Amino acid sequence: MGRLWGRLDDPTSDAGYDQHPPRMGFFTDTSVCIGCKACEVACKEWNEIPDDGYVLTGMSYDNTQELGADTWRHVAFVEKPVDVSVSSPVDLGMPGSGPPGTGGDPASDESGSDGVRWLMSSDVCKHCTHAACLDVCPTGSLFRTEYGTVVVQTDICNGCGYCVPACPYGVIDLREDDGRAFKCTLCYDRLKEGQTPACAQACPTESIQFGELDELRERADRRLEELHGKGVDAARLYGRDPEDGVGGDGAFFLLLDEPEVYGLPPDPVVTTRDIGSIWRSVGAAAATVAALGIAACAGRGRR
């Protein structure tokens, strides 16, 4: 059993590997995401993930809706009405929503999107440093790979479903007709062959960047500095901090708004941080039940 909480620079060694490759991860820079969903398609194709229905949500271009057993990359589309005069001073390459050629004077609105700000972000399993799904899995099906990623062994999983409510990001889920839990493997099979995960390979704008986590963190810091220098003050890194509630994410993000706007929890904490206090309370309550039982029977009266 490894460390459950706090900063942990090498979760792979902590999980018991003597020698291992560097920790690999994703840096998803949402400032250059164009919402093409190539990542979603590449992921589904490579991992042979079954169809999960064709549903038009009507809420936005996002008909995928959420991560789940059959969706391991999910592109969120946020359309927020904004005051054009204070919109981003930098053209982030966001597509317009108006009909072509009728946008009028392009100088009035650089993004061509008539007072609507578009945010797109390709969400994925965070491969937490302290992964609740892994810690609570009673079968040992979820494990940490030599790359520091978190993967389900489908031949072990018995579909108990404990990982599902344990995940602070709501990533992993049970596949209904199958009964077992599924989520992103960070293309464990491709990593073993020295290849890039399918989503990163397919991403046309390098919004999804794959590599050694240490290097990605440096790259992200530089990108953040660059955007702040250009006046994009809303840019912030999410899941980058090794001191956060899950010890930092193996897959982290550059966002242009608060995390909850993208459907991400603003301050996630791994549930097993509190496992000690949970066991203490369970033990104290059990002792109370035992004491009540003894006291109840100790009475001499037949009634």
Touching other proteins, residues 114-133 (CB under 8 A): 132
Binding mask 154-173 for other proteins (x = CB under 8 A): --xxxxxxx-xxxxxxxxxx
Give dist(CA 239, CA 253) in Å, integer: 7
Q: Are strands 24-29 and 251-255 parallel, antiparallel or unpaired?
A: parallel
For residue 292, state whether it binds other proteins (rule: CB under 8 A). yes
The Cα 176–Cα 117 span in angstroms is 36
Name the CA radius of gyration of the chain, rounded: 23
Within 10 Å of residue 180's Cβ, how many Cβ atoms? 18
For residue 247, the minimal CB distance to other proteins (Å) is 14
Asked if 226 is part of the footprint of other proteins (rule: CB under 8 A), the reply reads no
State the residue for tokens 């709501």: 170
Assess contact for 97 and 114: CB atoms under 8 A. yes
Give the C-alpha distances (Å, rounded to integers) separating 177 from 50, 69, 73.
Answer: 11, 11, 20
> Judged by CB under 8 A, which stretch of 89-97, 186-194, 225-233, 282-290 contacts other proteins?
282-290
CB atoms within 10 A of CB 134: 24
Out of 52, 110, 114, 178, point to the residue binding other proteins (CB under 8 A).
Answer: 178
3-state secondary structure of 107: helix
Stretch that binds other proteins, among 27-35, 107-115, 204-212, 266-274 (CB under 8 A): 266-274
Examine residue 6 and tell whether it contacts other proteins (CB under 8 A): no
The region of 7-15, 18-26, 184-192, 274-282 touching other proteins under the rule CB under 8 A is 274-282
- From 32, 135, 145, 197, residue interacting with other proteins (rule: CB under 8 A): 135
Nearest alpha-carbon partner for 89 in 195, 204, 230: 230
Q: How far is the CB of 241 from other proteins (least distance, A)?
A: 12
Q: Tell me the CA end-to-end span of the chain in Å, nearest whole number.
A: 50
User: Using CB atoms within 10 A of its CB, is residue 120 exposed (0-12), middle (13-18) or buried (19+)?
Assistant: buried
- Interior/surface letters 255-265, b for 16+ CB within 10 angstroms, e for the rest: bbbebeebbbe
Nearer Cβ to other proteins, position 92 or 166?
166
| 299 makes contact with other proteins (CB under 8 A) | yes
Q: Given the rule CB under 8 A, which of 29-37, 91-99, 178-186, 207-215 is the region that contacts other proteins?
A: 178-186
Nearer to other proteins, 245 or 250 (CB): 245
Q: Of residues 179-208, which lie at the interface with other proteins (CB under 8 A)? A: 179-181
User: Which residue in 11, 35, 68, 197 binds other proteins (CB under 8 A)?
Assistant: 68
User: Which 3 state secondary structure label does DSSP give 79?
Assistant: strand
Task: Determine if 261 is a binding residue for other proteins (CB under 8 A).
Answer: yes
Closest contact distance (angstroms) between CB of 296 and other proteins is 4
Q: Is 97 in the site for other proteins (CB under 8 A)?
A: no
**Least distance (Å) from other proteins to the CB of residue 141?**
7
242 binds other proteins (CB under 8 A): no
- Asked if 250 and 220 touch (Cβ cutoff 8 Å), the reply is no
Task: Give the footprint of other proteins on residues 70-89 (CB under 8 A).
Answer: 76, 78
